[in-house]
């Protein structure tokens, strides 16, 4: 009855080293966060390429320096606008505030004769003041952003006009020179103008602010959903105020840079700037989207618009024509961008499911045992904990006969022996607890989908053992995180072997993995002594239940969609899996030891000729996923299944089917304990108990491991 | 008739250049590069200049590129920066203010680019200036206003000044000259001095307001005819066309004469844009041939003035057809 | 990349408005009858087929009495005065006051529905499949329109009233003409083949006259997956070549699960229960239509219901009566 001699004669299971698919790469790229900036980036690239082709030396170093010099203040204002838009506002007053800051700077420099740092402070103060007024009105008083900033735009413009009319001639005829002033306006550091460096620094700061700081997160939260942010304890009004004030401050810096560079202002300074900035913002964000701090996208959008405008003006096109052309080009970019954003999830959805042909071996070894040939044995099972356990994927019994199971809401429950009526919570883990096992110290180790491997003591203390493994080669997506830890087994040496059923689909969408039929899963080991986690075998087809053979030398791993059971040699894992059993009549889930030296295999669902045929036609499944609503997708029949009993050599010796109308169905786990079989189902709300006449009434699963271990 | 004469003159000039020293002049100017950065194109002033400049460029075999700032001062300094990067032989600039481009003009001259300032000068002297004598215009108009509105005229003596931009050269210099004249005539009162940004609509609004506050206004001194026409419309709308004298300066195209015929403007000191174009083009030719003052000081071409007045002495031929 | 390919679905009625889901069929009072298939009114009483028997019901609530027993399963019923025509697979029996009236057998592959055009002419719906063939499995995957409607006179003259029909299942007289249902095409045509109502949300079965128009029995609800798979020739070929017809994906008459039949993703159970809105290959649906064939009402038995596969409807004394093949019941839906 030992399998050792058999192992080398079993057929090898080929496992791909590398899974490459253009559709998958596309979908991985699309699901990355950075893809948001792809259209602004492409627009900028197209603009640059177009200009390189159409002009002669536009991108010469000298002109690039000009661009860097003159775009800096606009770029700063864009960042200011981004902050305000991110918080869910709008700032039309940027142009006026910008002009005012520039005026204040010139006034301070030429009329008051202040030192340059004081001029900078004055300028920033001017911007800050306007920002604060906006912030008080829009944030604290709650006036609409549009009207508030329209008001400040007109008011500040009025003050600017009055003040500049009075002072401009004096400013224009001032002869004051200052080295620092000229340095800010014209000097270069590392070949690039000061203004550019200021923009770069501010951009990095804003980027970091949105990414890393509490304030930045608060801005995004308020912009994303004001109500939710308030309920989340964020000071919404304070955040809005601070965002406007910060934006004002940045506008002040921009005004100062402008003043230092131009050394003059005109009545039209900053006029139309708000629209230019909004256009760039909209191109960068693909619309007017609050709650997004996409600094890079927005700067790309700005660069696109700026360069476009600049090149056309430079090429000597007439001003009105430039505006017309700009308008049309922006509309085109926007149309594409909005379209892309709108359809990105659709594109992602349509490319995310990337099925391959899977030919499942025909059903074998089931003669006389199929559901239509014998009575459904599980119809006679006793129902335990009905309605009190939500989704017991795995069931586990301790020596005292207490029953443990995970639930859909992330808890581990204990059903007390002997009658299992008293249900109590052992621990609240979160995630989706699936496979369970006892370690040598009597603690429960659980596979938790969405988390990883978790250890729970009998006192209910929860400890995370591991949540990531080594990254596989050439993966676009970071696949180090364990996505769907499914079932585990602890080998005699204490190493935990567990399956990550799908690296690609979450527990909510595990059905997609069937339709894809790709080797998306992996077998992982975790050594609690060293704390090291490593991938034992990557690219398995939905590896599910794991069981160490009775002799402790091999590891059985169920491959659900392949309807087969693989076997690994624990002494030589690198040799890869061989096929222990194939051609199962359904989809195997957990595997557990039986008292007679054989194994129980849970069949979560049954194959049928139609789905078997569809599995060989990936194109049909892909088109189905696009054209048919998900609820109508052809699927494995998970409404009916059962339990198979295997002997030690892997021959099917018994089949226990559930009745088509319940109460048990989609059996995902079973444990033999003292002459009875306990059955769990991942979508059921009950546990079954079936007496096994003739089984060893003293045998327990936990005991069988201790005897060897 | 005048136009025909001009054309003849041009032809003879061209012929003489072609047969005479043409070969010599062209060898010096051929292949050179000139960039013109106007405040805006699409107005008769700059269009008239460019027309003449292009004619000369064709004859001289050099290129002339236009970078149109379209009334945007921010864009303009940027355009000038990129123009400087292109290292032309001559750069023609049209300063919107005396200050805006001063630094860049200095920078361009330092890099060996000859800068011709066109009609509106900056604080910064350069190789050449071609344009109106604003001091003289300001003084003459002010004196005319004093004569019409001052002591003994029986009028209020109230004058509204409507500059384009307060810091533009014409306004700075004309205002200075005019206020000097007005200072000597205490009966003249300047009731408004608000810039129109060269926008007729804005000038109209300013004037309408001024007229409401000062129904006895005597004269309007508009610094540029294009926007002053807006002021003249406001005067007409107020029914005060007979009472208010509208003064303007400008390039003197036929639109200005039409405005005078229609009573929108009363008197225009024209600096003849067409003639200025010729002057500028000639200056460019000369600079390209290496002409400079001995001491490196600025060469100045003072545009001859034509005074176009409504009334008996009105002469439509003083205006040019663009 | 940006513009999704337009998928042109045939114009279809959705289960909304007058056709919105309800549980009228599941709530309806019922009388259990094993294997009901067809019914008709004769002399004010209701005749219902039950396997090889024809039962007679004089009043709702009474126990049905065996009226006549045949050697083979009854597939269609029709009456005219005292005459009752009974379809028996390929055979035809016409009874008058308990006595057999000689009538020639039609040249039909099977008899799906019968109608007296006059006292001595019977119209016969021939779906184009034999009585033992699983019509529901075959029809969705069959492109050949092999069905017809025949007219048979007692004297022996036969004529073809309509031809080129795709699996016709029922008919009703409309003036001098006929309205004929086509199962898988989910539409109603007339004898000339002109489409009168297309895009039905269910696979159409028999049709009857009611006081306000018509009532249509649907054997199941149209399924988007099946409609999609029809556009996948490789799949259809593979299924036809390698799978027995009873295992094909198709509308079904029974709501139960079987290990060898496919389900859809939305039909998986949670806590042992099927959601009523889950997609299912079997369904109970009666559609009420006005005289212009505009749907005015409907009765449903949804995915979690049992009264699926409505094979016949009729208006009996102002009550709408339906037969559920899945549950084996006569259902009284109340006022027609």
Find out whether B174 and B223 touch, Cβ atoms under 8 Å.
yes
The model's confidence at residue A581, banded by pLDDT at 50, 70 and 90, is very high
Q: With bands split at pLDDT 50, 70 and 90, how would you rate the model's confidence at A212? A: confident
Among B54, B85, B169, the strongest candidate for a mutation testing the A interface, having the largest count of A CBs within 10 A, is B85
For the purposes of burial, counting CB atoms within 10 Å of the CB of A185, is it exposed (0-12), middle (13-18) or buried (19 or more)?
buried
Tell which residue, A696, A577, A560, A689, has the closest CA to residue A636: A560
Nearest CA in chain C to A342: C2
Distance CA B34, CA B93 (A): 11
Q: CA end-to-end span of chain A, whole Å? A: 19
Please tell me the distance in Å from B19's CA to the nearest CA on chain A: 34
Q: What is the pLDDT of residues A306-323, one digit of tens each?
A: 888 888 877 777 767 877
Q: Is the pLDDT of residue A49 over 60?
A: yes
**Residue C253: which residues within 8 A CB-CB, separation 6 or more?**
C136, C219, C220, C282, C308, C309, C325, C326
**Contact of A548 with A492, CB cutoff 8 Å:** yes
Tokens of C276: 């009523």
Where does residue A509 rank: exposed (0-12), middle (13-18), buried (19+ CB within 10 A)?
middle
pLDDT attached to residue B284: 94
| 99-118 of B, contacting A, C-beta below 8 A | 99-100, 102-103, 107
**Paired tokens of A616:** 């060989």
Interface test with A, best of C5, C265, C279 (most A CBs within 10 A): C265
Contact C268 A684 (CB under 8 A): no
> pLDDT value at position A52?
86
Does the pLDDT at position A620 exceed 90?
yes
Q: Chain A residue with minimal CA distance to B79? A: A314
pLDDT at C55: 95
Q: How far apart are CA A60 and CA A51, in angstroms?
A: 12
The shortest C-alpha distance from B127 to chain A (Å) reads: 21
What pLDDT was estimated at residue B17?
A: 45
Beta strand B90-93 with B114-118: parallel, antiparallel or unpaired?
parallel
For the residues A469-482, what does the mean pLDDT come to? 70
The conformation of residue A397, written as its DSSP 8-state character, comes to E
Residue-level pLDDT at A168: 80
B64-96 pLDDT, tens digit per residue, is 999 888 888 878 888 898 899 889 999 999 998
Its pTM stands at 0.65
Distance from CA of B85 to the nearest CA of A (A): 6
pLDDT of residue B46: 93
Q: Is there a contact between C30 and C51 (Cβ–Cβ < 8 Å)?
A: no
Is the Cβ pair B167, A313 closer than 8 Å? no
- What is the 3 state secondary structure string of chain C? CCCCCCCCCCCCCCCCHHHCCCCHHHHCCEEECCCEEEEEEECCEEEEEECCEEEEECCCCCCCEEEEECCCCCCEEEEECCEEEEEECCEEEEEECCEEECCCCCCCCCCCEEEEEECCEEEEEECCCCCCCCHHHHHHHCCCCCEEEEEEECCCCEEEEEEEECCEEEEEEECCEEEEEECCCCEEEECCCCEEECCCCEEEEEEEEECCEEEEEEEEECCHHHHHHCCCHHHHHHHHHHCCHHHCCCCCCCCCCCCCCCEEHHHCCECCECCCCCCCCCCEEEEEEECCCCEEEEEEECCCCCCCCEEEEEEECCEEEEEECCCCEEEEEEEC
Q: What is the pLDDT of residues A535-549, one digit of tens each?
A: 999 999 999 999 999
Q: What Cα–Cα distance (Å) separates residue B163 from each residue in A41, A164, B199, B217, B233?
A: 45, 14, 10, 17, 16
Q: Is A435 in contact with A546 (CB distance < 8 Å)?
A: yes
**A637 contacts C259? CB cut-off 8 A:** yes
From the list B77, B98, B197, which residue is nearest A268 (CB)? B197
Q: Which chains touch C (3 or more CB pairs under 8 A)?
A: A
Percent of chain B scoring above 70 in pLDDT: 92
Nearest to C29 by CA among C307, C284, C315, C285: C307
| Measured CA angle at A253 (ends A250, A255), to 5 deg | 110
Among C252, C272, C276, C305, the residue to mutate for chain A (most A Cβ within 10 A)? C272
Who wins on pLDDT, A621 or A17?
A: A621
pLDDT 10s digits, B201-241: 999 999 999 999 999 999 999 999 999 999 999 999 999 98
Out of B70, B172, B195, closest to residue A165 by CB = B195
- Give, rounded to a whole angstrom, the gap between the first and last alpha carbons of chain C: 52
- The three-state secondary structure class of A546 is strand
Find chain A residues with C-beta within 8 A of B110's C-beta: none
- E strands present in A203-315: none
Q: What is the pLDDT confidence band of residue A707, given thresholds at 50, 70 and 90?
A: low
Does B96 sit within 8 Å of A172, measured CB to CB?
A: no
Would an 8 Å CB–CB cutoff place B69 in contact with chain A?
yes
* Contact criterion met (CB < 8 Å) for A165 and B194: yes
Residue A507 is given by DSSP the state G
The pLDDT, as a whole number, for residue A478 is 66
- Please say whether the dihedral angle defined by the alpha carbons of residues A68, A70, A75 and A80, taken in this order, is positive or negative: positive
Do C3 and A390 make contact, defined as CB atoms within 8 angstroms? no
Q: How far apart are CA C207 and CA C227, in angstroms?
A: 23
Residue bearing tokens 């508030």: A148
Beta carbons within 8 Å of A177's beta carbon, 6+ residues apart: none
The shortest C-alpha distance from C239 to chain A (Å) reads 7
- Whose tokens are 């006569």? That residue is C330
Which ipTM was obtained for this model?
Answer: 0.89
Identify the closest residue of chain C to A512 by CA–CA distance: C265
What's the pLDDT at C257?
84
pLDDT of residue B275: 93
Q: What is the H or E stretch that residue A450 is in? A: none
CB spacing of A319 vs B197 below 8 angstroms? no
> At A606, is the pLDDT very low, low, confident or very high (cuts 50, 70, 90)?
very high
- Nearest by CB to residue A661, choosing from C232, C256, C259, is C256
- Decide if A318 and B67 are in contact by the 8 Å CB cutoff: no
Average pLDDT over residues B191-199: 89
Residue with tokens 């309007």: B220
Query: Do A84 and A206 contact (CB within 8 A), yes or no?
Result: no
Q: Hey, are the CB atoms on C224 and A632 less than 8 Å from each other?
A: yes
Report the DSSP beta bridge partners of residue B192: B160
Give residue A565's pLDDT: 95
User: Which of A144-158, A269-283, A326-340, C125-139 is least confident?
Assistant: A326-340
What pLDDT was estimated at residue A471? 66
Q: How confident is the model at residue A218, as a pLDDT?
A: 92
Q: What order of strands is seen across the sheet that includes strand C295-301? A: C202-210, C213-221, C284-290, C295-301
* Chain A, chain B: beta-carbon pairs less than 8 Å apart: 103
Mean pLDDT in order along chain C per 10 residues (336 residues): 46 77 94 95 93 94 92 94 92 88 90 93 94 92 93 91 94 92 93 90 93 94 92 94 93 88 87 87 94 93 93 94 95 86
pLDDT of B5 > 80? The answer is no
Q: Which of C188, C123, C190, C182 is nearest to C150 (CA)?
A: C123
Residue A99 or residue A625, greater confidence:
A99
pLDDT at B12 over 50: no
Q: A458 pLDDT band (50/70/90 cuts)?
A: very high
pLDDT digits (tens, 9 = 90+) for A372-419: 999 999 999 999 988 899 999 999 999 999 999 999 999 999 999 888
Q: What pLDDT is recorded for position C46?
A: 94
pLDDT at A514 over 60: yes
Chains C/B: 3 or more C-beta pairs closer than 8 A? no
**pLDDT score for A4:** 47
pLDDT, position A474 = 58
Contacts of B107 in chain A (CB under 8 A): 186
pLDDT reported for residue B10 = 45
How large is the average pLDDT for residues A246-267? 91
Backbone conformation region of residue A130, classed left if phi is above 0, alpha if psi is from -120 to 50, else beta: alpha
Q: Give me chain B's average pLDDT, please.
A: 88
> Mind giving me the DSSP string for A568-633?
EETT-GGG--EEEE---SEEEEEEEE-TTS-EEEEEEEE--HHHHHHHT-HHHHHHHHHHS-GGGS
Q: Which residues pair with C94 in a beta bridge?
A: C85, C101
| Mean pLDDT value across residues A144-164 | 92
Chain A residues in contact with B172 (beta carbon < 8 A): 169, 172-173
SS3 A669: strand
Residue A343 has pLDDT above 80, yes or no: no
Q: Taking CB atoms and an 8 Å limit, are A609 and C238 in contact across chains?
A: no
A607: confidence class by pLDDT, cuts 50, 70, 90: very high
Token match 């052809």: residue?
A634
Strands ordered across the beta sheet of A485-490: A485-490, A496-500, A521-527, A532-540
For B18, list phi and psi in degrees, rounded to 5. -65, -40
User: A14-18, A636-640, C34-38: lowest mean pLDDT where?
Assistant: A14-18
How far from each other are the two terminal CA atoms of chain B, in whole angstroms? 15
């Amino acid at each position: 009855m030992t399998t050792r001699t058999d192992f080398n004669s079993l057929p090898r299971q080929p496992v791909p080293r590398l899974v490459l698919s253009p559709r998958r790469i596309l979908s991985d790229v699309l699901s990355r966060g950075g893809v948001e900036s792809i259209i602004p980036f492409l627009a900028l690239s197209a603009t640059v390429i177009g200009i390189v082709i159409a002009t002669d030396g536009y991108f010469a170093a000298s002109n690039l320096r000009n661009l860097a010099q003159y775009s800096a203040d606009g770029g700063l204002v864009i960042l200011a606008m981004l902050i305000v838009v991110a918080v869910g506002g709008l700032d039309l007053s940027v142009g006026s505030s910008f002009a005012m800051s520039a005026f204040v700077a010139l006034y301070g420099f030429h009329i008051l004769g202040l030192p340059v740092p004081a001029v900078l402070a004055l300028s920033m103060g001017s911007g800050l003041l306007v920002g604060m007024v906006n912030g008080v009105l829009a944030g604290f008083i709650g006036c609409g952003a549009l009207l508030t900033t329209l008001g400040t735009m007109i008011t500040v413009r009025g003050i600017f006009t009055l003040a500049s009319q009075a002072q401009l001639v004096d400013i224009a005829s001032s002869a004051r020179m200052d080295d620092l002033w000229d340095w800010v306006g014209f000097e270069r550091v590392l070949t690039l103008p000061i203004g550019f460096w200021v923009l770069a620094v501010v951009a990095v700061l804003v980027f970091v602010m949105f990414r890393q700081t509490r304030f930045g997160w608060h801005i995004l939260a308020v912009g994303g959903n004001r109500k939710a942010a308030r309920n989340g304890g964020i000071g919404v009004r304070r955040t809005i105020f601070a965002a406007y004030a910060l934006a004002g401050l940045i506008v002040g810096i921009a005004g100062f840079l402008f003043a230092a560079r131009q050394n003059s202002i005109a009545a039209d300074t900053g006029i139309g700037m708000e629209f230019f900035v909004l256009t760039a913002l909209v191109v960068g964000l693909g619309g007017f989207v609050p709650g997004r701090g996409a600094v890079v996208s927005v700067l790309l959008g700005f660069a696109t618009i700026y360069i476009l405008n600049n090149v056309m003006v430079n090429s000597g096109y007439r001003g009105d024509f430039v505006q017309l052309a700009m308008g049309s080009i922006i509309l085109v970019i926007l149309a594409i961008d909005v379209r892309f954003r709108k359809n990105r999830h659709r594109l992602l959805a349509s490319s995310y499911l990337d099925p391959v042909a899977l030919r499942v071996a025909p059903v074998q070894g089931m003669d006389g045992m199929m559901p239509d040939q014998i009575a459904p044995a599980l119809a006679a099972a006793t129902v335990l904990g009905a309605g009190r356990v939500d989704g017991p994927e795995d069931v586990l019994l301790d020596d005292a006969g207490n029953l443990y199971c995970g639930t859909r809401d992330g808890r581990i429950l204990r059903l007390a022996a002997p009658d299992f009526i008293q249900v109590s919570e052992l621990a609240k883990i979160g995630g989706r607890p699936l496979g369970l096992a006892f370690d040598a110290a009597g603690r429960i180790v659980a596979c938790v989908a969405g988390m990883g491997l978790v250890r729970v003591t009998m006192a209910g203390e929860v400890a995370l053992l591991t949540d990531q493994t080594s990254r596989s080669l050439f993966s676009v997506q970071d696949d180090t995180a364990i996505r769907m830890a499914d079932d585990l087994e602890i080998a005699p040496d204490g190493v935990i072997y567990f399956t990550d059923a799908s690296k690609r689909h979450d527990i909510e969408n595990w059905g997609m993995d069937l339709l894809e039929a790709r080797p998306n899963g992996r077998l992982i080991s975790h050594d609690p002594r060293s704390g090291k986690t490593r991938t034992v075998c990557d690219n398995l087809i939905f590896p599910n239940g794991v069981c160490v053979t009775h002799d402790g030398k091999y590891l059985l791993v169920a491959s659900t969609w392949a309807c087969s059971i693989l076997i690994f040699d624990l002494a030589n894992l690198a040799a890869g899996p061989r096929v222990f059993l194939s051609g199962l009549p359904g989809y195997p889930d957990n595997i557990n030891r039986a008292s007679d030296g054989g194994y129980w295999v849970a069949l979560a669902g049954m194959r049928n000729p139609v789905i078997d045929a569809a599995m060989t036609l990936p194109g049909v499944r892909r088109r189905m996923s696009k054209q048919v609503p998900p609820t109508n997708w052809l699927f494995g029949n998970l409404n009916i299944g059962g339990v198979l009993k295997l002997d030690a050599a892997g021959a099917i010796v018994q089949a226990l089917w559930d009745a088509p109308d319940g109460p048990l169905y989609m059996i995902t786990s079973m444990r033999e304990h003292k002459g009875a079989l306990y059955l769990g189902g991942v979508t059921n709300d009950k546990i079954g108990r079936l007496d096994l006449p003739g089984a060893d009434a003293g045998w327990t699963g936990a005991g069988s491991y201790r005897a060897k271990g | 008739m005048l136009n025909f004469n001009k054309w003849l003159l041009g032809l003879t000039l061209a012929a003489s250049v072609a047969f005479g020293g043409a070969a010599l002049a062209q060898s010096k100017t051929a292949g050179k590069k000139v960039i013109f950065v106007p405040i805006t194109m699409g107005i008769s002033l700059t269009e008239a200049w460019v027309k003449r400049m292009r004619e000369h460029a064709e004859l001289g075999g050099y290129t002339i590129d236009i970078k149109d700032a379209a009334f945007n001062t921010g864009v303009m300094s940027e355009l000038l920066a990129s123009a400087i990067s292109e290292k032309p032989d001559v750069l023609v600039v049209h300063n919107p203010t005396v200050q805006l481009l001063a630094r860049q003009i200095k920078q361009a001259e330092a890099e060996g680019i000859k800068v011709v300032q066109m009609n509106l000068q900056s604080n910064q002297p350069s190789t050449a200036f071609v344009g109106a004598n604003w001091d003289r215009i300001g003084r003459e108009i002010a004196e005319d206003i004093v004569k019409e509105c001052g002591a003994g005229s029986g009028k209020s003596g109230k004058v509204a000044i409507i500059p384009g931009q307060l810091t533009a050269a014409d306004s700075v210099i004309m205002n200075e000259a005019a206020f000097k004249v007005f200072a000597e005539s205490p009966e003249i009162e300047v009731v408004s001095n608000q810039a129109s940004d060269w926008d007729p609509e804005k000038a109209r609004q300013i004037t309408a307001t001024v007229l409401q506050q000062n129904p006895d206004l005597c004269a309007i001194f508009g610094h540029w005819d294009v926007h002053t026409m807006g002021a003249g419309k406001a005067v007409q709308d107020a029914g005060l066309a007979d009472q208010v004298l509208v003064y303007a300066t400008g390039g003197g195209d036929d639109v200005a004469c039409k405005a005078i015929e229609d009573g929108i403007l009363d008197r225009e000191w024209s600096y003849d844009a067409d003639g200025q174009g010729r002057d500028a083009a000639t200056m460019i030719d000369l600079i390209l041939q290496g002409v400079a003052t001995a001491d490196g000081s600025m060469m100045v071409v003072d545009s001859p003035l034509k005074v176009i007045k409504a009334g008996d002495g009105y002469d439509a031929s003083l205006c040019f057809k663009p | 990349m940006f513009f999704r390919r337009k998928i042109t679905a045939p114009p279809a009625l959705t289960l909304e408005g007058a056709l919105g889901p309800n549980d009228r069929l599941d709530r309806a009072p019922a009388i259990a009858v094993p294997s009901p298939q067809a019914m008709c009114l004769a002399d004010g009483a209701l005749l219902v087929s039950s396997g090889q028997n024809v039962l007679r019901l004089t009043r709702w609530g009474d126990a049905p009495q065996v009226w006549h027993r045949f050697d083979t399963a009854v597939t269609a019923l029709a009456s005219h005065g005292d005459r009752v025509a009974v379809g028996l697979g390929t055979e035809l029996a016409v009874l008058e006051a308990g006595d057999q009236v000689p009538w020639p057998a039609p040249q039909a592959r099977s008899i799906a529905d019968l109608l007296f055009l006059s006292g001595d002419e019977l119209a016969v719906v021939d779906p184009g499949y034999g009585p033992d063939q699983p019509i529901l499995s075959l029809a969705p995957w069959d492109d050949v329109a092999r069905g017809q409607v025949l007219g048979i006179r007692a004297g022996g003259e036969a004529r073809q009233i309509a031809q080129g029909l795709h699996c016709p299942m029922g008919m009703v007289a409309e003036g001098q003409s006929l309205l004929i249902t086509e199962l898988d095409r989910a539409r109603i045509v007339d004898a000339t083949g002109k489409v009168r109502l297309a895009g039905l949300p269910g696979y159409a079965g028999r049709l009857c006259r009611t006081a306000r128009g018509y009532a249509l029995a649907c054997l199941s609800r149209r399924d988007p997956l099946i409609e999609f798979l029809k556009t996948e020739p490789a799949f259809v070929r593979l299924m036809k070549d390698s799978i027995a017809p009873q295992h094909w994906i198709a509308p079904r008459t029974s709501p139960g699960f079987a290990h060898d039949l496919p389900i859809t993703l939305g039909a998986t159970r949670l806590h042992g229960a099927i959601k009523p809105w889950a997609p299912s290959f079997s369904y109970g649906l009666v559609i009420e239509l006005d005289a212009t064939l505009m749907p005015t009402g409907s009765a449903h038995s949804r995915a979690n219901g049992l009264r699926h596969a409505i094979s016949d409807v009729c208006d009996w004394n102002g009550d709408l009566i339906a037969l559920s093949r899945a549950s084996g019941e006569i259902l009284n839906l109340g006022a027609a």
